[in-house]
Structure 1
Amino acid sequence: MDARPLLPRRGLFEADLPPVVPPIETEVTITSSAAASDRAVPNALKVAAAWAWRIFLVAGLVYFIGWILGFLSEVIIPVAVAILLAAALKPVANKLHGWGLARGLAAAATLLTGIALIALALTLIINSIAGQADVLSGQVVVGFSQLIDWLRNSPFGISDDWFNIDEWGNRIQQFLIDSQSTITRYAGDIGTSVGHFLAGIAICLFTLFYFLYDGRGIFSFLIGLMPKAAQARADAAAIRGWQSLSGYVRATVIVALVDAIGVLIVALALRLPLAPALAALVFLGAFIPLVGAFVSGFVAVLVALVAVGWVQALIMLAGIILVMQVEGHILQPLLLGRAVHLHPLAVLLAIAIGIIVAGIVGALVAVPILAFVKTFIQELYRQANDAARTASSAGLAADPDAAAPA
């Protein structure tokens, strides 16, 4: 009998199966030169690069928008002036409409009244200049002669040939002969500019009428072009910005009027010629903060120096300094501070950018645009913060145990 141990029987195909080998766990790491170089770059440099391309993108967008505005400046500038005038005149049109006048008639009456006031002011100024032209010309000649005598006897060593009237006449005549082509070109440019100016006035007046008549409807149409989710927030922010802009324009008009009256009183007391014209110049200059008051005041002092003498010029300078101090320390904080508060550096930079982009008109509209944008952004942030607080309060009300300490 076989004494070998009994082994389990294999199945029919078990002899053909390979032996079971346990799997070997391996880790494969793929490295590249790009990944290695990325790890070698400091994190601060990565952040700076991420900021850099975004800043370049925003700067390119701003440059493109500026180029478009410059290309369409003959339309954009009259529309911008119409917006400022509408901000000042819209309350008048609303008041007339509230008294029962039709909206179109109220807008037309407001526009015609504004045109009549401007025409009356220009007529008074022109008549003042025409009536005092002879006196002013004689005073200018006397002042110029005194200036020449002072220069001739001054220690600067100026030759008498510079004061020879005949020699200057010959030089001017020769200059005109040599510059005929340049003068002709400038004359053509002036004619073209006058045509553009008249077309701009027409655009401004028509735009102003429709802003007074249906400004809300125009704005609602523009808001409707935005995504529906953002329309309500943009509308509320734009209304706050418009209120700020209107307050700024009305306060600036009051400040400019007070400055003009102050300069007019001083000029009349000194018996300066062209006193109404100087007051009108100061009124217009007050619409350009910082720069406008300085330039218009300098012109008034210069007229006093040439027309009546250096003593009256110093008195005129003191009067203008007094008026500017009243404006800076009383009127602007009291009136403009309620409308919108802007840092003086922001005002100065806005005026500089406005002059570079659109000249005098750019300086005129730069600060009102800044006031509107500042209030618009602040209102958007306020709405976002209110929405976040509302959502947080709703979450706490739904789960009161979430705020309980652990």
Structure 2
Amino acid sequence: MAEQDSSLAAGAERSANSTRHLIGANPAARKVAGARRNPSVLGMEQTAPHWLRSMAGVSWRLLVILAAVGVIFYATSRVQLLFIAVFIGLVFTAVLRPAVELLNRAMPRPLATALALLLGIAVFAGMLTYVAVSVAGQWVNLADQFGSGIEDIKDFLIEGPLPFAITNDQINQWIIDGQTWLTEHGGELAGRAAEGAGSVVEVFAALALAIFCTVFFLARGNEMWTWFLNQLPTRVRETWQTAAGAGWYTFSGYTRGTVIIAVTDGFFAFILLTIIGVPLAAPLAVLVLIGAFIPLVGAPAAMVIAMIVALAANGPISAAVVGIGIALIGQFEGHVLQPLVMGKQVSLHPVVIALVVTAGTLAAGILGAVISVPLVAVAWAIFSRLRSIDPPMDESQEEESLDDVEPIDA
């Protein structure tokens, strides 16, 4: 009996060895053997087409990415003040860093940082002071011109060559309706004003935190970045260094370029409004300067406000000249300043910019419109630097590939 058991065991071992030999030599045999051990494997391969499995793999990966992006947006919304402060701090750092590097050649870096920051604050405060003085000096004349301008607009609506008729009684009724609406919604407007006061406090808090971060970014930014890299594994430090270099190059170039373009637009607008004789030329020029920081929508909004002031103060001809002049400044910005100042640092298509600004506005209002373009530009710069792509096809190769396709018989 023992001999019979040993012979059966030896036969089973030889059979297993033979099966393993066949399986190792033949991939098809491995698949059949796997199907025998788990019959559902072969059934899954037969019932799920390759295109469906590929789409399923892409779909769940996209869902994971969308979930991660959603978590990031949710976390950012919970600490929105902190995010805004760090973003503003990076903007200040990008603008002031060239001045700090220049001053650092003649003095210690902490002193260079303090001096550059004080100069930046002095320039900003001086601009606001000039605007306030201009408004105070022209306020009386502006009130008189604005009143006469309103009467001219009413005369134009009543007696002008419009395709529809507007009477003085209708205009007076519109004014009465506006006063009634203000009376009925006075409490709501007061509540919004109180909320706005709280927002002003948050703005100053974010600004103070941004200046605090800027001081350390300028004075010890390299040391802070080196410390962060040392916390990462050695194998990924080079990748992080490459990505950060590409992102900072794009962000700093976009920020400094936007500041230069905004100052240039404001300067040209101030000259234009002064020549035409529009009151409050300095505040309106500052408004054009601020509008340059909001892509696509900022400059047209500033242009409309300047046209309204020119229309009320000097009449429709002055308003038309202001609109045409600011539009020409916008064309000069888009075709000359943008390529000259920014170059290829922000290589986003205008369609992409329009979609990004719209999405940012819908997600976070004016703040989203301001920060959406630089964030997407940085993300695209990092992706472009880290990815590896095949060489592009030229037109001759594309024509040859199309000629090689055999027609399908009907």
What TM-score does the superposition give when structure 1 sets the normalisation length? Answer: 0.80
Letter in 1 for 2:295: P
Structure 2 counterpart SS, 1:150: helix
Provide, for residues 141-195 of structure 1, a one-character-per-residue CA deviation record: whole Å limited to 9, x for no partner: 2222222233344664556543337x945x5665455435424432331221122
- The whole-number CA distance in structure 2 between the counterparts of 1:158 and 1:339 is 52
User: Does the C-alpha gap of structure 1 residues 157 and 79 become closer, same or farther in structure 2, counting only changes over 3 Å?
Assistant: same
Q: Which of the pair has more CA radius of gyration?
A: 1
RMSD, aligned α-carbons:
3.2
Shift of 1:78: 1.6
Q: 1:328 aligns to what? A: 334
Q: 1:124 aligns to what? A: 130
**1:95 corresponds to 2:102:** yes
- The whole-number CA distance in structure 1 between the counterparts of 2:179 and 2:350 is 48
**1:276 corresponds to 2:256:** no
Q: 1:353 aligns to what? A: 359
Contact 2:89–2:211 (CA under 8 A) maintained in structure 1: yes
Q: 2:65 aligns to what? A: 58
- The whole-number CA distance in structure 1 between the counterparts of 2:274 and 2:167 is 39
Q: 1:400 aligns to what? A: none
Structure 2 unmatched ranges of 5 or more: 20-31, 391-410
Shift of 1:338: 4.2
- The whole-number CA distance in structure 1 between the counterparts of 2:93 and 2:234 is 28
- Which of 43-52 and 346-355 deviates more? 346-355
Structure 1 moving runs of 4+ over 6 Å = 23-29
| Identity percentage of aligned residues | 32
Shift of 1:222: 2.9
Structure 1 unmatched ranges of 5 or more: 1-12, 386-406
Structure 2 counterpart SS, 1:339: coil
- The match for 1:227 among 228, 233, 243 is 233
Contact 1:234–1:380 (CA under 8 A) maintained in structure 2: no
**1:71 corresponds to 2:85:** no
User: Does the C-alpha gap of structure 1 residues 377 and 280 become closer, same or farther in structure 2, counting only changes over 3 Å?
Assistant: same
Letter in 2 for 1:369: L
Greater relative CO, 1 or 2 (CA 8 Å, sep 6+): 1
Q: 2:304 aligns to what? A: 298
Contact 2:152–2:315 (CA under 8 A) maintained in structure 1: no
Contact 1:125–1:276 (CA under 8 A) maintained in structure 2: yes
Q: 2:393 aligns to what? A: none
- The match for 2:46 among 39, 52, 57 is 39
User: Does the C-alpha gap of structure 1 residues 335 and 180 become closer, same or farther in structure 2, counting only changes over 3 Å?
Assistant: closer
- The whole-number CA distance in structure 2 between the counterparts of 1:161 and 1:129 is 34
Contact 2:109–2:219 (CA under 8 A) maintained in structure 1: yes
Structure 2 counterpart SS, 1:122: helix
**1:246 corresponds to 2:252:** yes
Contact 1:86–1:208 (CA under 8 A) maintained in structure 2: yes
Shift of 1:34: 8.0
Aligned pairs, number:
365
- The whole-number CA distance in structure 2 between the counterparts of 1:203 and 1:277 is 28
Shift of 1:110: 1.0
- The match for 1:137 among 136, 139, 143 is 143
Q: 1:363 aligns to what? A: 369
